[in-house]
Structures are given as structure tokens and as C-alpha cells.
Amino acid sequence: MARAFRKLRCKLVEMDIQQKELADRLGVSPSTISTRLSGHLPWSVPEAVQVAEILGIPLDQLSVFFYDDGPESLAARKKALCRAT
């Protein structure tokens, strides 16, 4: 399986923003960012929009950065979430 949120991670590197800085700007813990970037915890829509604003990502490109693994991977993640609950 492709690494979760690969393009988002690349954008963070490109913008020279560490996960801790992103966490501070979002008002969450660094572990929350790590968990979201690893695909174990979903991003909320408000968080995704906030991250897009921080990184200068146009809102019409959200799906490229937050759902670029394709529908098969998204379905697999949803199944995994259902099994975890």
C-alpha cells in the first residue's frame, strides 16, 4: 500500500514545515498530526481546510493531497476503521 498522504508530506517538506509546527498552528498535539499523516486517524474537513490554507493549497486541490491513494485505498481504510471500532 502506498504511504498515506505522500503528497501532503512532500508539501510539508517543500514548505519546510515540521509536524510540530503544523500541530501548533492547528492547535493539536504533534502525535495527532503523526497519527493523521500515517492514515490511522482521519482528517476532519475543517482541519483539511486549515492545513490547505497553511500550505497554500487551493481548496479545489484538497482531494489530491488528502485522498490521492485512489478509491481502493480509501475503501480499505474505511474497512480498517470499521474493524477497529
- Cell 474537513, located at residue: 45
For 16-34, the pLDDT digits (tens) are 999 999 999 999 999 999 9
Give me the residue spans of the domains in the chain: 6-84
pLDDT of the residue at 77: 55
Q: Is the four-CA dihedral 31, 72, 68, 9 of positive or negative sign?
A: positive
Taking the C-alpha atoms of 59, 27, 36 and 54 in order, what is their torsion angle to the nearest 10 degrees?
30
Q: Which residue's C-alpha cell is 493531497?
A: 65
Please compute the mean of the pLDDT values over residues 30-55 and round it to a whole number: 92
For residue 1, name the pLDDT band (cuts at 50, 70, 90).
very low
Choices 1.10.260.40, 1.10.1370.30, 3.50.50.60, 1.10.1740.10: CATH for 6-84: 1.10.260.40
pLDDT greater at residue 83 or residue 70: 83
